[in-house]
């Protein structure tokens, strides 16, 4: 299952107040020019690690990525790595906010509720369960995907109970009503804070102009109205579809044999709801170039520019990502 990253279209957005002052910082001592008549030391001459790397090409580690599908349809990617007695597992679902449809914020809420409760355990007991095993659980929701990850020691006495707990958290969450109310209140409070944040206002307007009616346009967290309207029944329905095994990619890296990795993937896949991959979100349409100016009481000006890019399958994707980072972009 391949999912492309969001593409950005050409557009300018300015949030105007009075321009902030431009401050020139003094040069650091290490950056000061050498005294007259004294040769400047060669770059890195005092750094042993640079001396060792000087003239050597960067080492490239060949990755033997083994792939297969589980009986339930989840795609598995596995790399055996024996350096440390641990492993990492990352489940990626095509269940980000681009799948929110008429309920903006439901993908984020569903993901946030995964570790709030399972049968016999509340959020605190779940956290203590992972911590007591030396394991780490993390989750996140984005525009194109939702993620749940586990890092655990590979010894069976730690690995097996950590996997059991992880499988229940991701596959069989109970969605406690009190947790939903708490998370909703936190989101709604954050919406009020964003009203005083010119960067947040600019970003929201930028995505509206970039994507129009496309699912990427709305904020991943939704808004106060949409979040308030989301019910427990809707969360459970979204989980049943978005977190189905056929909509998942399981990545495993670490101190595991192929047989162990297959057993882990089979266990996790079997714990997920049964179902196929969700329909792929259509590519965004090129918008008309333009500029939006929003007045805001501030001592600074926020300027945002965006341009339609390429998807991850494009041969130029890696080079463009590196170039964008060199120019100061976020990728």
Structure tokens at 285: 């349409």
Q: Helix-strand-coil percent breakdown of the chain, rounded to 5?
A: 35, 20, 45
- pLDDT at site 58: 67
Does 21 map to a domain? no
Distance between CA atoms of residues 324 and 308, nearest Å: 13
Burial (CB < 10 A; 0-12, 13-18, 19+), residue 56, is exposed
Residue 303 in domain: no
Q: Name the token pair of 180.
A: 């939903």
Cα separation, 233 vs 236, whole angstroms = 5
Structure-derived torsion over alpha carbons of residues 152, 158, 161, 166, reported in degrees to the nearest 10: 0
Q: List the CATH number of the domain containing 167.
A: 3.30.830.10
How far out from the chain centre does Cα 63 lie? 23
Angle at 90 between CA 171 and CA 120, to 5 degrees: 30
Nearest 5°: the CA angle 239, 244, 248 is 115
Q: What total of structural domains would you count in the chain?
A: 1
Q: With respect to residue 51, please indicate whether it lies within any of the assigned structural domains.
A: no
**Domain membership flag for residue 112:** yes
Per the domain annotation, does 206 fall within a domain?
A: yes
CA nearest 291: which of 15, 14, 18, 17?
Answer: 14
**CA–CA dist 105, 231 (Å, integer):** 11
Q: Is 98 exposed, middle or buried (0-12, 13-18, 19+ CB in 10 A)?
A: buried
Query: Would you say residue 251 lies in a domain?
Result: yes
Residue 245 CA, distance from chain mean position: 19
**What is the side-by-side order of every strand in the sheet holding 302-306?**
291-295, 11-16, 302-306
pTM over 0.85, yes/no = no
CA atoms within 13 A on the CB side of 298: 19
pLDDT tens over the chain, length 331 residues: 444 445 544 444 444 443 333 333 333 334 444 444 445 455 445 666 666 666 676 677 788 999 999 999 999 999 999 999 999 999 999 999 999 999 999 999 999 999 999 999 999 999 999 999 999 999 999 999 999 999 999 999 999 999 999 999 999 999 999 999 999 999 999 999 999 999 999 999 999 999 999 999 999 999 999 999 999 999 999 999 999 999 999 999 999 999 999 999 999 999 999 999 999 999 999 999 999 999 999 888 989 888 778 888 999 999 998 998 898 766 5
- Whole-Å CA distances, 270 to 28, 91, 115, 162, 243: 58, 13, 19, 16, 12
Could you tell me if residue 6 is inside a domain? no
pLDDT of residue 305: 86
pLDDT of residue 150: 99
pLDDT, position 50: 60
Is residue 117 in some structural domain?
yes
CA-to-CA distance for 5 and 313, rounded, in angstroms?
9
Nearest 5°: phi and psi at 29?
A: -55, -40
Domain housing 140: 63-276
What is the reported pLDDT for 24? 34
CA neighbor of 89 nearest in space, from 75, 78, 97, 98: 78
């Amino acid at each position: 299952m391949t999912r492309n990253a969001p593409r950005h279209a050409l557009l300018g957005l300015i949030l105007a107040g009075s321009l902030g002052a431009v401050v020139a910082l003094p040069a650091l001592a290490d950056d000061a020019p050498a005294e007259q008549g004294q040769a400047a030391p060669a770059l890195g001459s005092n750094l042993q690690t640079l001396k060792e790397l000087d003239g050597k090409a960067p080492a490239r580690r060949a990755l033997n990525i083994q792939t297969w599908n589980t009986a339930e349809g989840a795609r598995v990617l596995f790399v055996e790595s024996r350096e440390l007695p641990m492993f990492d597992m990352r489940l990626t679902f095509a269940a980000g906010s681009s799948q929110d449809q008429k309920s903006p914020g439901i993908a984020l809420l569903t993901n946030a509720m995964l570790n709030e409760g399972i049968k016999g355990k509340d959020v605190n007991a779940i956290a203590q369960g992972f911590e007591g095993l030396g394991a780490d659980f993390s989750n996140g929701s984005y525009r194109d995907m939702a993620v749940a990850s586990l890092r655990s020691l590979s010894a069976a006495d730690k690995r097996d109970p950590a996997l059991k707990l992880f499988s229940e958290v991701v596959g069989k969450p109970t969605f406690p009503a009190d947790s939903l109310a708490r998370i909703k209140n936190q989101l709604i409070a954050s919406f009020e804070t964003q009203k005083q944040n010119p960067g947040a206002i600019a970003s929201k307007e930028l995505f509206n102009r970039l994507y129009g009616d496309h699912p990427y346009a709305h904020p991943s967290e939704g808004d106060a109205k949409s979040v308030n309207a989301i019910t427990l029944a809707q969360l459970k329905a979204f989980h049943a579809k978005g977190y189905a095994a056929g909509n998942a990619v399981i990545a495993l890296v670490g101190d595991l044999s192929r047989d162990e990795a297959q057993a882990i993937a089979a266990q996790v896949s079997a714990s997920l709801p049964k179902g196929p991959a969700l329909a792929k979100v259509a590519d965004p349409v090129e918008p008309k170039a333009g500029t939006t100016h929003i007045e805001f009481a501030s001592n600074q000006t926020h300027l945002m520019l965006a341009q339609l890019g390429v998807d991850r399958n494009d041969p130029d994707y890696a080079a463009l990502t590196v170039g964008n980072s060199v120019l100061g972009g976020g990728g």
